[in-house]
Structure 1
Amino acid sequence: MTIIQDRNSDISHDYYRALAAKDARFDGVFFAGIRTTGIYCRPICRVKTPRQSSCVFFSSQAAAEAAGFRPCLRCRPELAPYDLQQNLAHAIWHKIAAGALNESGVEIFAKQVGLSSRQLRRVILQEFGVSPIELAQTQRLLFAKKLIQETQLSMTEIAFAAGFGSVRRFNALFETRYKMTPASIRRLALPSSPDQGITLRLAYRPPYAWDALLNYLHGRAMAGLEQVDLQRGLYRRSVQIEGKQGWIQVSHLPERQQLLLEIAPSLSKVLLPLLAKVRQQFDVEANPVAIAAHLQSDPRLAQQMMRTPGLRVPGSFDAFELAIRAILGQQVSVAGATTVSGRLVQKFGAPVTTPWSELAYHFPSPDYLARQSIDDIASIGVPRTRAATIHAFAVFSAAGGLQIPPNCSLHDLVMRLKALPGIGEWTAQYIAMRALRFSNAFPAGDLGLQKAVSVGMDSRCTEKQLLALADAWSPWRGYAALLLWQSLSVPQTEMN
């Protein structure tokens, strides 16, 4: 879908009202091209609102740029949170935005997502109005623009970090598309030394329950790998990605409606895939207003949403890491699983040097864990049957088992995971919800969820009853689960 108002004039009118109101709920949902200036903006842009007759609305940055518009230097469209939609085209787009086409051509990428190249082109063209290559080029240019304006990386470093094969190609496409040179938009950054790291920002749609998310991660942080500082509102972890090692630190800028991401200089060449992982871990793309509108009809959920507006589903930086943590959490307390997870990291994780003594290891890779004996894994203090499950899952992951095609359904994924020894419905749903970002995943066998919906009842809700109740929460059952878990920390007198 290229030009929105050509399809639906009512939507065009609604979008103009959102533009005039600077409505953050629509940030990333549409972009406004201004005919009189040739610039396209986010709906929250603080410039004087143009006349409606001067505006043309697009569903993506790529569509706006294909129509000849340049990104606004003030509101910076590259900062906009992504429009999280549950369809094949957007699932493919997320892979392209993370750099999937930077190292491979359309033919290879199409095979990776389970389509023919012809099908891939058709899916992307129908949804975004551009070809896959044009979509990838827009993402590269916008990411390069972000790095130019937020970091002191050299133009050469920026070109390669954004996925360009050469600096010449980067400069040529930038000047052709934006009618200016990369150097002309560089802003002076604060003086910094190479050891201080790279600082980037990620915008989100408000509200954002940052404290609730940090508390959730704090209780599950693996010693040696992660650190959550509740007093300062910080999350830190070691990072190993595409052969590069380093660390990240994430904090909250509520006044800007952004997350602040600090990154080790050693990770400068993998910034694009790294940001995709951070977006996933902190659920940046969620649209809390739309989710709340769907779930608020249930009084139990509505009450908790009032306490924690903007509650996110904490994701994972690495799917394998989260899956192993979920297996270790089977039939034990959260605290117990966290303790054993820390032992696994310290026994099998590779040592790393970071500015913080608390971060001293990387999580072991699937290949490495697959080479360990079941008895060695059990030595961290888990039953041998669970160690066997961890070993089997490592073998499964090392063979590409967690590389899920975009058109994979939740049911198919759960069946695929449950085929592994020791993986039941609860574990499969939890992995789908947090590690693989299926918003409708729902571990109905969880005793905490059953307890949460049973407040005021004579007996505890069964798994079957909870599943029937959760039907009304689709397609956001994962968010309902987080709300219910959060409600367990509320005194019962407040719940009544």
Structure 2
Amino acid sequence: MHTDTEACVRAVKSRDARFDGVFFTAVRTTRIYCRPSCPVVPPKPENMVFHPSAASCQRAGFRACKRCRPDTSPGSPAWNVRADLVARAMRLIRDGVVDREGIPGLATRLGYSTRQIERQLLAELGAGPLALARAQRAQAARVLIETTPLPMAEIAFAAGFSSIRSFNDTVRQVFALPPGELRARATPSRDPNPPGVIVLRLPFRAPLAPSNLFGHLAATAVPGVEEWRDGAYRRTLRLPHGHGIVALSPRPDHIACRLFLTDSRDLTIAISRCRWLLDLDADPVAVDGHLRTDPLLAPLVDASPGRRVPRTVDAAEFAVRAVLGQQVSTAAARTHAARLVTAHGDPVRDPEGGLTHLFPAPEALAELDPESLALPRSRRTTLLTLLGALADGSLRLGFDSDRDEARARLLALPGFGPWTTEVIAMRALGDPDAFLPGDLGIRRAAQGLGLPSTPAALTSRAALWRPWRAYAVQYLWATEPHPVNHLPD
């Protein structure tokens, strides 16, 4: 969108928050860049230049506005919707792959040369993978500077910088302040956080309907791994340098996030996975506007706009849980998963709640005794085959997955039909167009609305909803009086 100057100018003049993170406004005279909704008086159009990313602004020599803090904008919705090379690269960069594995690691995961990736990112985002990762490191550093008492040297390496000098230079360049002054200007917390705890706000594009989002996560929570406590969804996180525990609470204009990390180097990836879990980078106005064009779906959208797709922090974990949940109740699925967690999960200490384990990794489950599973024989075979494919790498589920290829590999496994494959595509792979026409709840909702209720006819009718059928599923599911559709008491 940044190439459409007229549309960008209109968005800036109207301070339209829907475009925060979609493009950035750089001001030639002040050398500052802002989000479109910046509250300051808009500059003259001839002084504006538009960029597709914060990294592009920084690369061009602009610094972040201290008023609107553009570095904290929601991510572009394009990276979750699209499935091409640039989108997959952006999801991996946001997940910290460049910091952990470098550009060669990014290229290996994507199956392209480093030169191809660099060229495509520069063409579309105005910055290469190193610059994009650097912008992300700067934001992680700012969060740690403003919300923790960690020494600056520890923050530098925790945020992913290779040296204290590069940390100082980057913070000065991006924020026009040295790290010490950035900390001095931060609003002090009335209640200092315990060691290892980081408290921050996760922004989103309004509106957001928390009922199905948090209701679904709470109703399907696996004991020991997840819980609903004091108005927050809490769960354990398996992270590259250790483990974490996160508490997420819905607020009118943000998600309150409370993170406990055993290693602060995992901050960026933990934030990325929490945003992915809650689908916080979605554009609800675009999604709902499209779904409202169907007169039968419009009343559902109008009743509770801004529904998100509840996702997962671990695609492999969700795939295992999807198999455990085949043709059983939500309570039975939770029981099966809890048994695996107790027997094979890594124990953790939760100083603020009742969480006890990390969900076991596929490698830990691949050799389990099938007789220990209280499942029908056919489902044992399905689960063990899935675990073997995940453990040996023949099935890859993650930010870098090709969605169509992952679907084909899942359907080739014994016991995997369209329902299981599509629910994994929707919640683990983040496909916004995943669809479940054979789901009983969807068929009942369709019949109640006067939509076709047979899978083939409903699929044909749902072509009107593309590419947002996964969001239509959320609206259809919400017609059922099920706990997944309501915030817990």
Q: TM-score, normalized by length of structure 1?
A: 0.90
Q: Say whether 1:370 aligns with 2:366.
A: yes
* Contact residue 214 and residue 233 of structure 1 kept, 8 A: no
Q: Say whether 1:67 aligns with 2:60.
A: yes
Report the counterpart of residue 248 of structure 2 in structure 1.
Answer: 250
Report the counterpart of residue 189 of structure 1 in structure 2.
Answer: 188
Report the counterpart of residue 312 of structure 2 in structure 1.
Answer: 316
Report the counterpart of residue 37 of structure 2 in structure 1.
Answer: 44
Q: Say whether 1:465 aligns with 2:457.
A: yes
Q: Distance in 1 between matches of 2:314 and 2:259?
A: 17
Report the counterpart of residue 167 of structure 2 in structure 1.
Answer: 170
What value does the CA root-mean-square deviation take over the aligned residues?
Answer: 2.2
**Letter of the 1:439 counterpart:** P
Report the counterpart of residue 347 of structure 2 in structure 1.
Answer: 351
Judged with a 3 Å threshold, the aligned counterparts in structure 2 of structure 1 residues 60 and 193 are, in CA distance, closer, same or farther, namely closer
Query: Which secondary structure state, in structure 2, belongs to the residue aligned with residue 175 of structure 1?
Result: helix
Q: Distance in 2 between matches of 1:405 and 1:211?
A: 26
Q: Distance in 2 between matches of 1:402 and 1:199?
A: 35
| 1:135 aligned to which of 125, 132, 137 | 132
Q: Deviations over 1:107-129 (max 9, x none)?
A: 33212111112211111111112
Q: Distance in 2 between matches of 1:301 and 1:146?
A: 41
Report the counterpart of residue 403 of structure 2 in structure 1.
Answer: 410
* Contact residue 210 and residue 250 of structure 2 kept, 8 A: yes
* Contact residue 226 and residue 359 of structure 1 kept, 8 A: yes
Measured after TM superposition, the shift of residue 265 of structure 1 is: 4.3
Q: Distance in 2 between matches of 1:265 and 1:152?
A: 14
Measured after TM superposition, the shift of residue 145 of structure 1 is: 2.3
* Contact residue 399 and residue 429 of structure 2 kept, 8 A: no
Measured after TM superposition, the shift of residue 369 of structure 1 is: 0.5
Q: Which runs of 5+ in 1 are unaligned?
A: 491-496
* Contact residue 78 and residue 143 of structure 1 kept, 8 A: no
Q: Deviations over 1:17-65 (max 9, x none)?
A: 2222221211111111122221111112222222222222111111111
Measured after TM superposition, the shift of residue 205 of structure 1 is: 0.2
Q: Say whether 1:387 aligns with 2:376.
A: no
Report the counterpart of residue 336 of structure 2 in structure 1.
Answer: 340
* Contact residue 63 and residue 173 of structure 2 kept, 8 A: no
**Letter of the 2:355 counterpart:** L
Report the counterpart of residue 199 of structure 2 in structure 1.
Answer: 199
**Letter of the 1:17 counterpart:** R
Q: Deviations over 1:373-428 (max 9, x none)?
A: 1112x1xx321221222222122112234535878553322111111222111111
Measured after TM superposition, the shift of residue 350 of structure 1 is: 2.2
Query: Which secondary structure state, in structure 2, belongs to the residue aligned with residue 372 of structure 1?
Result: coil
* Contact residue 226 and residue 237 of structure 1 kept, 8 A: yes
Report the counterpart of residue 240 of structure 1 in structure 2.
Answer: 238
Q: Distance in 1 between matches of 2:36 and 2:353?
A: 43
Q: Say whether 1:121 aligns with 2:118.
A: yes
Q: Which runs of 5+ in 2 are unaligned?
A: 483-489
Q: Distance in 2 between matches of 1:58 and 1:210?
A: 32
* Contact residue 74 and residue 204 of structure 2 kept, 8 A: yes
* Contact residue 147 and residue 199 of structure 2 kept, 8 A: yes
Q: Distance in 2 between matches of 1:234 and 1:393?
A: 32
* Contact residue 414 and residue 432 of structure 1 kept, 8 A: yes
Q: Distance in 1 between matches of 2:401 and 2:351?
A: 40
Judged with a 3 Å threshold, the aligned counterparts in structure 2 of structure 1 residues 177 and 75 are, in CA distance, closer, same or farther, namely closer
Q: Say whether 1:306 aligns with 2:302.
A: yes
Judged with a 3 Å threshold, the aligned counterparts in structure 2 of structure 1 residues 326 and 406 are, in CA distance, closer, same or farther, namely closer
Judged with a 3 Å threshold, the aligned counterparts in structure 2 of structure 1 residues 189 and 468 are, in CA distance, closer, same or farther, namely same
Q: Distance in 2 between matches of 1:78 and 1:180?
A: 15
* Contact residue 315 and residue 398 of structure 2 kept, 8 A: no
Aligned residues: 475
Q: Distance in 2 between matches of 1:383 and 1:356?
A: 38
Q: Which gives a bigger RCO, structure 1 or 2 (Cα 8 Å, sep 6+)?
A: 2
Report the counterpart of residue 414 of structure 2 in structure 1.
Answer: 421
Report the counterpart of residue 77 of structure 2 in structure 1.
Answer: 84
* Contact residue 78 and residue 146 of structure 1 kept, 8 A: no
Report the counterpart of residue 222 of structure 1 in structure 2.
Answer: 222
Report the counterpart of residue 101 of structure 1 in structure 2.
Answer: 98
Measured after TM superposition, the shift of residue 328 of structure 1 is: 1.1
Q: Distance in 1 between matches of 2:36 and 2:211?
A: 27
**Letter of the 1:83 counterpart:** S
| 1:293 aligned to which of 289, 296, 302 | 289
Judged with a 3 Å threshold, the aligned counterparts in structure 2 of structure 1 residues 408 and 247 are, in CA distance, closer, same or farther, namely closer
Structure 1 vs Structure 2: percent identity of aligned residues? 38
Q: Deviations over 1:277-314 (max 9, x none)?
A: 11110101100000011111123321111122110000
**Letter of the 2:464 counterpart:** A
Query: Which secondary structure state, in structure 2, belongs to the residue aligned with residue 124 of structure 1?
Result: helix
* Contact residue 114 and residue 405 of structure 1 kept, 8 A: no
Q: Distance in 2 between matches of 1:53 and 1:266?
A: 49
**Letter of the 1:96 counterpart:** I
Larger displacement relative to structure 2 (393-402 or 430-439): 393-402
